[in-house]
Chain A
Amino acid sequence: MSREAKLATLAEKRAKILAGGGEKRVAKQHESGKLTARERINALLDEGSFIEIDQFVTHRSPDLGELPGEGVVTGYGTIDGRLIYLSSQDFTVSGGSLGEMHADKMAKVMDLALAVGAPFIAINDSGGARIQEGIGSLDGFGQIFKRNTIASGVIPQISVILGPCAGGAVYSPAITDFIFMSKQGNMYITGPAVIKSVTGEEVSMEVLGGPHTHTAISGNAHFAAPTEDEVFNQIRRLLSFLPSNNLEGAPICECNDPAERMEDILLDIVPDDPNRPYDMKDIIVALADNKDFMEVQENFAKNMIIGFIRLNGMTVGVIANQPQVMAGCMDINGSDKAARFVRMCDAFGIPLLTLCDTPGFLPGVAQEHNGIQRHGAKLLYAFSEATVPKMTVITRKGYGGAYIAMCSKSIGCDTAIAWPSAQIAVMGAAGAVNILDHKAIKEAADPAALRTQKIAEYEDKFANPYCAAALGYVDIITEPEKTRYYLIRSLETLLTKKETRPGKKHGNIPL
């Protein structure tokens, strides 16, 4: 064969693979509002940066015909100039179904990502296991789950759900750090048909496992957007906050926003009346460089806010109570959400900023019976375990165990800042008086008057930041508008912080 003929063969073979499932199926993919596997990669990565590997891999099943590219495109490229490994399932080829060699391709890029220390992004659009390949497909899932787990905490792993992701396939995203969904994304363990046959429940795919369900109800997904392009924008923005691996720091942005900037909004954002709510997000935004806050899991457990900001160009993970939702109470979902975020930040060396205004853990039989104790314990565990710089601002209420759980000095906060509006105490005034002065009030000539008096006395004595500061549990009490300055100065000093823990295989976090 001549050289020209050999090159022609390569071109012909490659063209066939690049065409995916063929014109008809590609048209169908576009009609359903979805891009093809390769279009997605090009839309996500820096232009022209993608290098595909394993283009010519094929399955080994005698029962299957030709499947160009094995139904998944894998390789590497850059986002904002930073190396990324990724896989993108091709729904136009056998429904993106996952067979033995399809999984092998994914496993290979995951191994490479882990070896070089670059983030891994998996774009999911697949009907599930390739049934014709039987147990070989199942093994493929296992190979991926195992790699997801081993890479966890070493490189950021992002799952992008742009089509179906059903059955066992959901466990790969579930292990990864962040899940993004487009409008066409669906995730469920068993589909509507199986559910109907087993439990009789009738449910649509959208309600069962669509983006609203997973971002607002189940909490499985972290971000959702109507279009794929918007999803890709969110991914690029998120990556700008994250390091490429656990040994490198997050990218440091040039910061033109002065540390001394004071925001008037902070002066009076906390209402004088402790019973009035306010929006904690206003405080986060005011403190952040250029008022840029990327919230994570915005619509799930809204009583607890998590997300990323920068302080003087450095990425900081924020965990905050939201007094506007459920009075800022901590509950099962809020604790889970915050605890996982804290551990993710700690794994990747991202400093933590906690904003505390919580009246306590949510009382109720349902919370107790559903395990608030072990779920709340996760947050205490996560903060105690974290060795990154930890800063806490108490804006108003810091009561009881919930105050301790919100990264208090006691569990390892490096810089505790309180505002003059802070009330740090074992419990609220009314509750405390009911216990402490129960007898005196009962026997008083005018119980109501004595109760009011006792409450006022308690508030005077305990509902302030000075009791805690007197014992060193608060390092700095400051005017709210100076908080940004103190946080940035503090963060700068804490960057070289070293904290060691006893050698162990791993702790036993209450899951």
Chain B
Amino acid sequence: MKKYNVVVNGETFTVEVEEVGGAATSVASAPKAAPAPAAAAPAPAPKAAPAPAAAPAVTADGCKIESPLPGTILKINVTMGQAIKAGDVLLILEAMKMENEIVAPQDGSVKAISVAAGKTVQAGDVLLVI
């Protein structure tokens, strides 16, 4: 028999707890670590909002062109270092039975090509960096 003091709303109750079975039961009935009061729980950092489809994520490393849809790269129209203008078709992504044109959101030059023709990509995958 063990004695515990339990405080409920500032009022103290003395309770007796009897240990009944083997180890398993005793573990199950053992008081768990008191959960931190809700107020003190650290606010979970909100996840960064997912980048909108095909929205250019401009970083110090350049503007990343992301895939708006899951699909297959059909054709790449540009080469490394090539100068491009906003609106140029960079590559063709076949998705939802459509040859989707992925166009440059801004002027620049091709800094990296992360995919090859025939490759399958997921929505949000980086296709190119300009």
A275 in contact with B99 given A199-B45, A366-B50 (CB within 8 Å): yes
**Are B96's CB and A326's CB within 8 A?**
yes
Say which residue of A198, A217, A276, A326 sits within 8 Å of B99 (CB atoms).
Answer: A276
A217 in contact with B55 given A327-B69, A364-B123 (CB within 8 Å): yes
Name the residue on B nearest A323 (C-beta): B98
Within the complex, what minimum Cβ distance (angstroms) separates A495 from chain B?
37
Please report the C-alpha to C-alpha distance between residue A385 and residue B95 in the assembled complex, in whole angstroms. 33
**Are B98's CB and A275's CB within 8 A?**
yes
A326 in contact with B55 given A275-B99, A359-B96, A428-B97 (CB within 8 Å): no
- One digit per residue, 1 when the CB lies within 8 angstroms of any chain B CB and 0 when it does not, for chain A 342-364 equals 00000000000000000110111
Within the complex, what minimum Cβ distance (angstroms) separates A223 from chain B?
19
A327 in contact with B101 given A217-B55, A362-B69, A366-B50 (CB within 8 Å): no
Please report the C-alpha to C-alpha distance between residue A73 and residue B49 in the assembled complex, in whole angstroms. 38
A329 CB within 8 Å of chain B: yes
Say which residue of A200, A216, A217, A430 sits within 8 Å of B97 (CB atoms).
Answer: A430
Please report the C-alpha to C-alpha distance between residue A109 and residue B16 in the assembled complex, in whole angstroms. 69
**Are B52's CB and A328's CB within 8 A?**
no
Find the residue from A274, A327, A360, A363 having the highest chain B CB count within 10 A.
A327
Which of under 10, 10 to 19, 20 to 34, or 35 or more describes the interface residues of A?
20 to 34
B43 CB within 8 Å of chain A: yes
**Are A366's CB and B99's CB within 8 A?**
no
**Are B97's CB and A326's CB within 8 A?**
no
Please report the C-alpha to C-alpha distance between residue A340 and residue B97 in the assembled complex, in whole angstroms. 29
Contacts of A428 in B (CB 8 A): 97
Interface residues of A in 321-348 (CB under 8 A from B): 323-329
A-B contacts, 28 listed (Cβ < 8 Å): A199-B43, A199-B45, A199-B46, A200-B45, A201-B48, A216-B52, A216-B55, A217-B49, A217-B52, A274-B97, A275-B97, A276-B99, A277-B98, A277-B99, A277-B101, A324-B100, A324-B101, A325-B68, A326-B53, A326-B100, A327-B96, A329-B69, A329-B96, A359-B96, A362-B69, A364-B123, A428-B97, A430-B97
20 additional A-B residue pairs with CB within 8 Å, beyond A276-B98, A325-B100: A199-B46, A200-B45, A216-B52, A275-B97, A275-B98, A277-B98, A323-B98, A324-B101, A325-B54, A326-B53, A326-B95, A326-B96, A327-B69, A327-B96, A327-B97, A327-B98, A328-B96, A359-B98, A362-B69, A428-B97
Instruction: Report, nearest first, the 5 A-B pairs whose CB atoms are least far apart.
Output: A327-B98, A327-B96, A359-B96, A199-B45, A275-B99
